[in-house]
Every structure is written in structure tokens, then in C-alpha cells.
Amino acid sequence: EADIYQTPRYLVIGTGKKITLECSQTMGHDKMYWYQQDPGMELHLIHYSYGVNSTEKGDLSSESTVSRIRTEHFPLTLESARPSHTSQYLCASSPTGNNQPQHFGDGTRLSIL
């Protein structure tokens, strides 16, 4: 199985708090991604990275930000959480090369009260 880890698995927190969702992979993959999955199951790409010091916005606009200081680490931050941020967040990675499959973590289920 893929070695990609997300913490925390579940987070319930109040409005206005700063949140960081962690994602780490041990496969040495250059490419990493964040998806937001809504209750209807649909997945939307919100951020991706080609490698260290590279970050790009995805198809779905998001108030979150990401950083990529190390190859294995791709954290996502919300500076001031709001109820509209309640969702499941999935992190993924893939090796270099065209059209490679992505390996997913188990996700963080975030609830903002």
C-alpha cells in the first residue's frame, strides 16, 4: 500500500481558529495534491505542487494555502476557519512522469462549528 499519511483524521474546531492539516509521504514523489471532497462524494482539486518550493492553485477556488519546503511534506493551512470549510480533505502524491496514478492518504474530516 501507498505510504502517505494525513493527520489529524478528524478535527472539530470553532470558527476563527487557524488550522493546519498535515500530509507526508515517504515514497519520494515529486508531485503532491490536495483535494476537497464534498458530502455528495465529488472530488475537487484545490492545490498541487510539482516539487519543493512549487505550489499551484487547482480547479476549485479555496481560501486555504499550502507550502512545500520539503519533498515529503505538503501541509494545508486555513488562517481563519469558517463553517463553509467543513469538508473532507484528501492528500495525494504521484511520481514524476506523464499520467501516473496518484496515491491517496486516508483524509482529514474537518468540521467547523
Partner 1 sequence: GDSVTQMEGPVTLSEEAFLTINCTYTATGYPSLFWYVQYPGEGLQLLLKATKADDKGSNKGFEATYRKETTSFHLEKGSVQVSDSAVYFCALSNSGGGADGLTFGKGTHLIIQP
Report the interface residues with partner 1, using CB under 8 A: 1, 6, 31, 33, 35, 40-43, 45, 48-50, 54, 56, 58-59, 90, 92, 98-107
Nearer Cβ to partner 1 (102/111): 102
Written as nine digits, the cell of 20 is: 493546519
Least separation in angstroms between CB 75 and partner 1: 17
Complete DSSP assignment for 1-12: ---EEEE-SEEE
Least separation in angstroms between CB 14 and partner 1: 24
CA-CA distance, 34 to 23, in Å (whole number)? 9
Burial (CB count <10 Å: 0-12, 13-18, 19+), residue 57: middle
Nearer Cβ to partner 1 (85/107): 107
Least separation in angstroms between CB 84 and partner 1: 21
Contact 60, 48 (CB under 8 A): no
Nearer Cβ to partner 1 (14/39): 39
